Amino acid sequence: MEFKIDRSEVLMYLQTSKDLKDKNIIQLISQASAEVKDLIDFRYLYKKFPIEISQKGIKLLNTTLTLKGKSIKKHLKKSPEIYLMAVTLGVQIDKKISLYDKTSVTKAVIFDACATAAVEEGCDKVEAEIKRKAFNDGYKDITFRYSPGYGDLSIEVQKELLRILNAPKKIGLTVSKYNMLQPNKSVTAVIGMLTEKTESDGEFSFEKRHCRQCNLYNDCQLRRKGNYCGTKK
Amino acid sequence: MELKNRLGKEIIIFDGAMGTVLQMRGLKAGELPEILNIEKSKEIVDIHKSYLEAGAEILTTNTFGANTLKMDETDYSVEEIIRAAVSNARRAVDESSVDALVALDIGPLGELLEPMGSLTFDEAYQLFKQQVKIGEEAGADLIHIETIADLYEAKAAVLAAEENSDLPVFCTMTFEENGRTFTGGSIRSMISVLEGLGVDALGLNCSLGPEKLKPLAEEVLKYSEIPVIMQANAGLPVVEDGETVFKISPEEYFKPLAELYQKGLAVVGGCCGTDKNFISIIAENLKNKKVKSRRIIKESTVCSPSQYVNLASINVVGERINPTGKPVFKNALKNSDLDYIFKVAVEEVEAGADILDVNLGLPDIDEKEMMIRTIKELQGILDIPLQIDSSDPDVIAGALRYYNGTAVVNSVNGETAVLDKILPSVKKYGAAVIGLTMDESGIPDSSEERFKIAEKIVNKADEYGIKRGKIIIDCLTLTASAQQEGVKETLKAIKRVKEELGVNTTLGISNVSFGLPARSVLNRTFLSMALFQGLNLPIIDPNDREMMASIKAAAVLNNIDQGAVQYIEYMAKNKDNVAPEKKEILESEELGDKVDDLKMVIIKGLKNAAGPLTEKILKEKEALEVVNEYLIPALDIVGDSYEQGEIFLPQLVQSAETVKEAFAVIKQKMAHSGGRNIAKGKIAVATVKGDVHDIGKNIVKIVLENYGYQIIDLGRNVQTEEIVRTVKENEIKLIGLSALMTTTVKNMEKTIKAVRKETPDCRIMVGGAVLTSDYADMIEADFYAKDAKEAVKIAQKVFAEIN
């Protein structure tokens, strides 16, 4: 899979202005982007599950998993089926970040931002693939990617979610006791299938939909500058 | 069945998949198959029996994930599960009245080990140890470690098996089509490490079907000196109607196996997607057949998981990680400042070293602790194999245990006591070892005497079962200005030990020229002469390009670098003779930046210009003046611009690193002149247990350093106990803790409690992605630092109160 690593995305993760002029930094971003592209070992998995919405939460049929919380219930309330997805950039990216951590913090910061941009780009591609499948199955739309840790969906479901996808064995994606995905530059998410087309939202409703549920809503520097993390395209 | 008598002589047949069969029988996604050993034991026994009927001679217990990490989620203990599993397999064997063995199956722990993950090597070892002990007690006949993707995890499992049981140990790893594991490990490294650790058989399983695994298996068969196992999947899984299915037929599955049998495969079984039909066809064709003999390429290698070095070739050992005669290095070691070492290591790798010698011998430090820590950190960031340089057997044993790969030990000598203390560890961990041709009475003058010592070392190593290829003799360089006639004796001895003892050789070069002018000419000439005598591992400073060029040239002329590939590559890379730092300065100048104003250099973040400029200014000014007149004012300007939103985080960090370069020069000058310490106070920083991401902490660290604080950086994923110990030992008055996840903030809280209890006068500041000031209050930190600038303000406040 080819990665572009868009500079404006990288600048967003670096929390700089969109038209940063510093030529050193710009040069470091180009170098880091090239390195990231070279080191990416992109692997992904997704699988469809019928769901049942109950008092307890969203139950994935034929599995052990129930997704709990108000926010995920709201997110999936119109979906008869969902996809679970997992993507990872592999361990070489983490290793290189560690190297720069020890030798140049500037490079570490920039490399990290490039890798984050890459993993989101990877997610977009997987989401597009899922969307095509959904349309083939007769669905009219899909929800945005919803990840453990958003809203009140606990990150404690990571382990079970990965187990259901057999992700440790198939793509080498694991989770630590502290629910941190390892390799670090990885994402898991839930996407709901929709039988009706949703209307597109403006900037403001994006914030309402995503950010209000976030633990860091009040302290978020990105949001104040009109930028958004993760789920924004 | 007598395993040891049959292994490698007659084909041994394993069973097929357990998980797949259970899924076909209705196991839900996400369910842990191990609990069925207890809840549906009859079903498990039936599956085992079906494999025995099909012709399997070894049953693997249904214990792939039976470790505490996973079993904690169930109502059963590891002990209950493993005992039930072994007894199920045993019952199947007894009731089927066949001659078959029961293998305790051990799969990966499911979490990544350090440095990629937060699970430590020792924790992994303990988890495996528990499984091994219960398994042996329960009556397993062998230990089968499988589907491992991380060589370090394989090492922990194999050590746990070997140190806690007397059972035979098999180990298979799982590779992708490109011949690498998920963590980047190579087949050659797997062979080097597992053979070195002394497993009874090794090989491949899972990930791919037999057709795709075939080329990888062929590589294993080519280089492994011990019996080879293969347990392939039933091809790649395909999703049909939302279900994962394997489409390959048993006949298709067997075809590549038949070919591999001809090439010397010794143990064969199935993995995911296989069932009794697959095992039947293997048994029908191969049962009781003799293992075919194969031609093995015997190379002695040292390796990291992803890189290996053939010791018999010519390879450069980088010598610069060594504090001898380097005051700055010594200071860094005393202050546990590993960054200095990393910088040196990275330079050596970039300059083209093939192995890095690591010597941390300094009287007033805990060498063992420092060595283990450094090795763990170095293997976390670099792929180059390491050479452990110490005279202390305890340091060597510790380093070998935690090294992720096959290392070189530097060194033993001809003293019997030294050999008996160090060689057992060398053997146990499969390392290579350097033997110095000297003993109690010093370095002998003649080549004959040195040869005799080499012979003694080799004989001793033979006794311990260390292969010749892993012995590296150092015939020792003498100084031409003092012992001119001795230089030739060294050269003579090299040739003799190589030809008559069949070992490899190493030599430190630069001593030869000590006390004479134009040392580099003597060094290079001596190096060429030694290479001609057959030197394999010159120990040099790889930044010396002329020496490097001579080595590359000799490898061509000795017909080792065939087609001059490496020579051409090295010359192409180094044809432009400007050092990289100079080049960047030139580029900056071309881009129109002024590089003669230190303040401007800092503000613009021109990292490579800062060092030389500081040196220039230090000729006229005192260290403290440079700090107060240039560094601090520039930092203030940068800090203000950042707060005003005129510059952004990467620029702030870039300027901070530029100041760090200037500081490095100042420190170097003070280390040489023994000047007054200008540090304002000691601060410890750490990312708490569970968090492996520490960019934020590193930004805080570098900015605090800029403001003159001495930082003790404990790194990431740090245990509470280690933090408390450091605070105590160094009488730390301020500590900075970082946490990234809500789940690890709990460890932060635990650490705060422990620090409070043990050292009540140490103040604590916290920061990190999920923290807020409310949160900081809740866990009873003294300060919340939202960013690096804030941390500086806190430090200024704390130290103002103290002083």
pLDDT at B230 over 80: yes
**Tokens of residue B486, six digits:** 């001795």
User: Residue B109 half-sphere exposure, CB side, CA atoms within 13 Å?
Assistant: 33
CB B431 within 8 A of CB B470: yes
Q: Which residues contact B250 (CB under 8 A, 6 or more apart)?
A: B277, B278, B280, B281
Selecting from B147, B648, B657 the residue whose C-beta is nearest the C-beta of A20 gives B648
Q: Which of A43, A176, A216 should we substitute to test contact with B (largest number of B Cβ atoms within 10 Å)? A: A176
Cα first-last separation, chain A: 19
**Tokens of residue B637, six digits:** 């300007």
Give B576's pLDDT tier (boundaries 50, 70, 90).
Answer: low
A-chain CB neighbours of B147 within 8 Å are 169
B758 Cα to chain A: minimum distance (Å):
26
Q: Which residues contact A37 (CB under 8 A, 6 or more apart)?
A: A3, A5, A118
A-chain CB neighbours of B769 within 8 Å are 216
Which pLDDT belongs to residue B240? 65
A198 touches chain B (CB under 8 A): no
Cβ contact, residue pair A182, B184, below 8 Å: no
* Closest Cα in chain B to A160: B30
- Give per-residue burial for B647-675: e unless 16+ CB within 10 Å, then b: bbbbbbbbbbbbbbbbbbbbbbbbbeeee
A14 Cα to chain B: minimum distance (Å):
7
Burial zone of A30 (CB within 10 Å; 0-12 exposed, 13-18 middle, 19+ buried): middle
Selecting from A48, A103, A180 the residue whose C-beta is nearest the C-beta of B343 gives A103
% helix / strand / coil in chain A, to the nearest 5? 45, 20, 35
Selecting from B119, B239, B649 the residue whose C-beta is nearest the C-beta of A15 gives B649
Cβ contact, residue pair B591, A177, below 8 Å: no
A35 Cα to chain B: minimum distance (Å):
15
Cβ contact, residue pair A95, B653, below 8 Å: no
Selecting from B182, B607, B741 the residue whose C-beta is nearest the C-beta of A91 gives B182
Number of domains in chain A: 1
In one letter, which amino acid is B319?
E
- DSSP letter (8 states) at residue B680: -
Q: Which CATH number fits domain B682-802: 3.40.50.280, 1.10.10.10, 3.40.50.10470, 1.10.3720.10?
A: 3.40.50.280
Supply the ipTM of this predicted assembly. Answer: 0.90
Question: What is the share, in percent, of chain B residues with pLDDT greater than 90?
Answer: 80
Strands B142-148 and B169-173: parallel
Cβ contact, residue pair A105, B742, below 8 Å: no
A residues 199-218 near B, CB within 8 Å? 215-216, 218
Q: What is the DSSP string of A162-186?
A: HHHHTHHHHH--EE-TT--EESSSE
A133 touches chain B (CB under 8 A): no
Measured between alpha carbons, how far is B692 from B710 in angstroms, rounded to an integer? 23
Structural domain contains residue A29 = yes
B-chain CB neighbours of A169 within 8 Å are 147, 174, 206
B191 Cα to chain A: minimum distance (Å):
21
A residues 142-171 near B, CB within 8 Å? 155, 160, 163-164, 168-169, 171
Which pLDDT belongs to residue B713? 93
A residues 24-83 near B, CB within 8 Å? 24-25, 28, 41, 47-48, 62-65
Cβ contact, residue pair A22, B650, below 8 Å: yes
A residues 90-129 near B, CB within 8 Å? 90-92, 94-95, 97-99, 101-106, 108-110, 112
pLDDT at B308 over 80: yes
**Tokens of residue B381, six digits:** 């960031």
Which pLDDT belongs to residue B306? 96
Cβ contact, residue pair B118, A177, below 8 Å: yes
CB B110 within 8 A of CB B65: yes
The highest-level CATH class for domain B3-286 is alpha beta
Which pLDDT belongs to residue A231? 45
Which pLDDT belongs to residue A201? 56
Q: What is the pLDDT averaged over residues B760-771? A: 92
CB B84 within 8 A of CB B128: no
B115 touches chain A (CB under 8 A): yes
CB B144 within 8 A of CB B167: no
A-chain CB neighbours of B653 within 8 Å are 105-106, 109
Residue spans of the domains in chain B: they are 3-286, 307-573, 580-663, 682-802
Q: What is the pLDDT averaged over residues B588-617? A: 80
Length of chain B: 803
B-chain CB neighbours of A160 within 8 Å are 30
Which pLDDT belongs to residue B165? 98
Nearest to B219 by CA among B199, B244, B202: B202
Mapped onto helix, strand or coil, the DSSP state of residue B371 is helix
pLDDT digits (tens, 9 = 90+) for B201-229: 999 999 899 999 999 999 999 999 999 99
Q: Which of B112, B336, B373, B593 should we substitute to test contact with A (largest number of A Cβ atoms within 10 Å)? A: B112
Domain that residue A119 falls in: 7-198
Measured between alpha carbons, how far is B755 from B732 in angstroms, rounded to an integer? 11
B-chain CB neighbours of A25 within 8 Å are 650-651, 654
A-chain CB neighbours of B604 within 8 Å are 24
Burial zone of B232 (CB within 10 Å; 0-12 exposed, 13-18 middle, 19+ buried): buried
Cβ contact, residue pair B650, A98, below 8 Å: no
B-chain CB neighbours of A171 within 8 Å are 182
- Give per-residue burial for B247-261: e unless 16+ CB within 10 Å, then b: ebebeebbebbeebb
Q: Domain spanning B307-573 has what CATH number?
A: 3.20.20.20
Pick out chain A residues at pLDDT < 50: 203, 231-233
User: Residue B263 half-sphere exposure, CB side, CA atoms within 13 Å?
Assistant: 21
pLDDT digits (tens, 9 = 90+) for B335-376: 888 989 999 999 999 999 999 999 999 988 999 999 999 999
Q: Which residues pair with B229 in a beta bridge?
A: B203, B267
In one letter, which amino acid is B61?
T
Structural domain contains residue A132 = yes
Between the alpha carbon of residue B667 and those of residues B291, B346, B609, B677, B708, the distances in Å are: 65, 21, 17, 9, 11
Which pLDDT belongs to residue A232? 43
Q: Domain spanning B580-663 has what CATH number?
A: 1.10.1240.10
CB B21 within 8 A of CB B64: no
**Tokens of residue B398, six digits:** 């510790």
Q: Residue B717: what are its φ and ψ, rounded to 5°? A: 55, 50
Q: What is the DSSP string of B204-254?
A: EESSS-HHHHHHHHHHHHHH-SS-EEEEE-SSSEEEETTEEEE---HHHHH
Which pLDDT belongs to residue B678? 65
More confident position, B540 or A223: B540
Mapped onto helix, strand or coil, the DSSP state of residue B569 is helix
pLDDT digits (tens, 9 = 90+) for B2-55: 899 999 999 999 999 999 899 888 898 889 999 999 999 999 999 999 999 999
Nearest to B321 by CA among B285, B349, B352: B349
A-chain CB neighbours of B788 within 8 Å are none
pLDDT digits (tens, 9 = 90+) for B548-565: 999 999 999 988 888 999
Residue that is written with structure tokens 């000031």 in the block: B773
CB B86 within 8 A of CB B61: yes
Nearest to B89 by CA among B30, B131, B142: B142
B residues 585-644 near A, CB within 8 Å? 591, 604-607
Selecting from B119, B182, B657 the residue whose C-beta is nearest the C-beta of A172 gives B182
Between the alpha carbon of residue B757 and those of residues A55, B43, B750, B760, B762, the distances in Å are: 45, 54, 11, 6, 10
Q: Find the angle CA(B539)-CA(B544)-CA(B549) to the nearest 5 degrees.
A: 85
Structural domain contains residue A108 = yes
Q: Which of B241, B347, B381 should we substitute to test contact with A (largest number of A Cβ atoms within 10 Å)? A: B381
Question: What is the share, in percent, of chain B residues with pLDDT greater than 70?
Answer: 96
CB A86 within 8 A of CB A133: no
Cβ contact, residue pair A64, B657, below 8 Å: no
In one letter, which amino acid is A184?
N
Q: Find the angle CA(A153)-CA(A156)-CA(A161) to the nearest 5 degrees.
A: 85
Measured between alpha carbons, how far is B505 from B431 in angstroms, rounded to an integer? 15
Strand locations in B278-378 (E): 301-303, 308-310, 317-321, 355-359
Which pLDDT belongs to residue A233? 40
Residue that is written with structure tokens 């799982």 in the block: B174
CATH number of the CATH domain containing A162: 3.40.109.40
